[in-house]
Structure 1
Amino acid sequence: MSEQYEYQPHRLLRKRVQDIASGVEGELMAVITEDVSDTGIERWADLAYIRDGSGREFTTTVDNVQPV
């Protein structure tokens, strides 16, 4: 089995961004390729970790991230 996750470089790391799916703004903390499968068959996705104004982090697909 391969690694469970892998950090990816991204041009917006540590910048203010918006998740276009939810409209929430925050700072892009990390982009991580993760195995998101719950069936045992690997399925990898690039997830963006965004920290909002309250300090809470949430994930969204990296394609939903845009600069503010």
Structure 2
Amino acid sequence: MSECYEYVPHRLLRRRVRDTASGVEGVLMAVINENVSDTGIERWMELAYIRGASGREFTTAVTNVEPAPDQPQTAAGRRGQRSA
């Protein structure tokens, strides 16, 4: 019987990321190649585990992960753009 998961290295581990599917940002905690099948036929998928602001982790396909913007735009910065 094979293992049901395997850790995968990723360039954004422990960095702030955004899940493009949900728009939620958090810290990428792990990328794991998991057997996601609930039948006898194996189906492997790379899942990203992201820890959100609440401290809870959620999963998404690793293809949905992108770096989050470094600095959120401040209200003062947005006001300055509107008046330009």
TM over 0.5: yes
TM-score by length of 2: 0.80
User: In the alignment, residue 62 of structure 2 is paired with which amino acid?
Assistant: V
TM-score by length of 1: 0.98
**How far off is 1:47 after superposition?**
0.1
Q: Does 1:16 align with 2:16?
A: yes
Q: Secondary structure, in 3 states, of the residue corresponding to 2:29? A: strand
Q: Does 1:48 align with 2:48?
A: yes
What corresponds to 1:3 in structure 2? Answer: 3
Distance in 2 between residues matched to 1:39 and 1:2, nearest whole Å: 14
The answer for unaligned runs of 5 or more in structure 2 is: 69-84
Q: CA RMSD in A?
A: 0.4
The answer for unaligned runs of 5 or more in structure 1 is: none
Larger Rg: 2
Q: Which has the higher helix share?
A: 2
Distance in 2 between residues matched to 1:59 and 1:16, nearest whole Å: 15
Distance in 2 between residues matched to 1:53 and 1:40, nearest whole Å: 36
User: In the alignment, residue 3 of structure 1 is paired with which amino acid?
Assistant: E
Q: Which has the higher strand share?
A: 1
Distance in 2 between residues matched to 1:22 and 1:36, nearest whole Å: 20
Aligned length: 68
